[in-house]
Copies of this chain bind each other. A is one copy, B any other.
Amino acid sequence: MEIDQSAIQEKARPLTRARGLLKALPGKAEAEVIGFAKSVRKLAQDDPRRIIHSLKVGLALTLVSSIYYLRPLYKSFGEAGIWAVLTVVVIFEFTVGGTLSKSLNRGFATLLAGALGLGAQHLASLSGEKGQPIVLGILVFLLAAASTFTRFFPRIKARYDYGVLIFILTFSLVSVSGYRVEELLVLASQRLSTILVGGAICIVVSICICPVWAGENLHNSVASNIENLASYLEGFGGEYFQSGEGSDSDRSFLEGYKKVLNSKPTEETMANLATWEPGHGRFGFRHPWKQYLKIGALSRQCAYQIETLNGYINSDNQAPLEFRCKIQESCTQISAECGKALKSLASAIKTMTFPSSANVHVENSKTAVKDLKISLKAVSLEHDQELLAILPDATVASILVEIVICVEKISESVHELSNLAHFKSVEPTVSPEKPQLLHRGAINPVLEGDGDHVIITIHETSTDSQENEHPKAPKVGQRVEL
């Protein structure tokens, strides 16, 4: 049908269509302008720092332009003042770390390449007037090719990519223009001083006016990623077991975890830029930024499991109610306690306090796992209650058990962070929730409809049972490479 209609439209006379378009133009333009205004507003509302950043760039550029405008300054900088403008435009980044990284890269690369360029000049001049361009050409070729190749090294790519670019640029310019311009040293010192002025203006504006720290961004984004996972898990039990009932309610909390799935590149970039930043606010100079990457990797692992779990939330499975009743309580408990544990881990990161309140919830979730296992042991399938029918529910239970392990690992790595970064150890003013006494594993239960006593051997899937006590940070059992 769709194809037919579009075929008809295709055949409509071009003239008629053009006339229609012309009539619709003012309306369309209006709609576009309104749409544009809306998207500008949304961008600004999502992160008001964007507006401030734009104004900061404008300010830095106006400041550096004054080098040209004002005569006294003009005399000392000369035409090279153009480099100051260029420097500001190119190195002013959103975060302080980005600006610092680029200015330091630019400064050192210019210095090094300038010196090497002078050396190349000297070397080339030894080979006579005819040989000079050939020698210079070969040198530029070799250095450019070698430097370009170093940009493929992942470490150099991550930290010094811009520096290598500027190195190639400056070396070529110095060795080439030196052949023409005699006052090379004067030019070089001019260029360096203008770059210094441009860089200094950028750094001052970037740090002094509403600074955006890459480290703080990383810190907050890792915490909010954990919060997204928490929201999902807290709501999962209700959503899965009462499927259909709350379908008209707000289900946006089920979407948040998807942001976590692809968080890797952003986190890596921010962790890299954070290492360029000086100590600021709550973050010391040697803040353990790498630990955030570890927490981020574990969060992603958890998000992958949630993604699989999420596949079962919408499937219209009709598990026998009897079985569902048996596991519903402990599954909901597991999911909710994992959510609470993650919530308090996230808030511990945000407030930079010791994540002691999370331990209770981790313990609770592990107790709930034990309860679940007891319930599962008690299941004996009748013929009218086949394994196939209960498979989705059983799978959900199984994945939830895996998620508990993952949440425990996240908890361990947040504990590690809190030790490395010397988080405040607060005495909680509000008493944390007491672990609910749900643990039924100590007694051998008499199973209904089954005369035999069952000996329960619960094999621990996690490494160590974790104490509820406070500053004892557990080891991370297993590292996850992503």
Q: A residues within 8 Å of B by Cβ?
A: 39-40, 43, 50-51, 53-55, 57-59, 61-62, 65-66, 68-70, 74, 82, 85-86, 89-90, 133, 136-137, 140-146, 148-149, 152-153, 165, 168-169, 172-173, 176-177, 179-180, 258, 261-262, 264-265, 300-301, 304-305, 307-308, 311, 315, 373, 376-377, 379-383, 386-388, 391-392, 394-395, 397-399, 402, 450, 452, 461, 481-482
Contact = CB atoms under 8 A, between A and B. Distances in A.
Closest 8 CB pairs of A and B: A58-B145, A395-B398, A58-B141, A54-B149, A308-B308, A376-B388, A54-B148, A69-B133
A402 B68 CA distance: 66
Contact of A387 (B145, B149, B379, B461): B379
Contacts of A148: 53-54, 57-58
Contacts of A379: 381, 386-387
B179 A69 contact: yes
B140 A58 contact: yes
Contacts of A307: 301, 304-305
A136 B69 CA distance: 9
Contacts of A144: 54, 57-58, 61-62, 89
Contacts of A179: 68-69
Nearest to A165: B89
B145 A54 contact: yes
Nearest to A393: B398
A212 to B, nearest CB: 13
A262 B69 CA distance: 49
A377 B381 contact: no
A54 B311 CA distance: 46
Contacts of A39: 153
A173 B383 contact: no
Scoring A144, A307, A311 by chain B CB atoms within 10 A of each residue's CB, the highest score goes to A144
B173 A140 contact: no
Contacts of A380: 381-383, 386
Contacts of A86: 169, 173
A387 B376 contact: yes
A165 B57 contact: no
18 contacts: A50-B149, A57-B148, A58-B140, A58-B142, A61-B144, A61-B168, A65-B136, A68-B179, A69-B179, A90-B169, A262-B265, A305-B307, A308-B399, A311-B402, A376-B386, A376-B388, A387-B394, A394-B395
A454 to B, nearest CB: 8
Nearest to A255: B481
A121 to B, nearest CB: 13
A65 B74 CA distance: 30
A66 B134 CA distance: 10
B141 A59 contact: yes
A395 B388 contact: no
Nearest to A395: B398
A242 to B, nearest CB: 22
A452 B82 contact: no
B315 A149 contact: no
Given A169-B90, A376-B386, A387-B394, A180 B399 contact: no
Contact of A137 (B54, B69, B141, B172): B69
A136 B70 CA distance: 13
A376 B394 CA distance: 13
B395 A65 contact: no
A144 B481 CA distance: 42
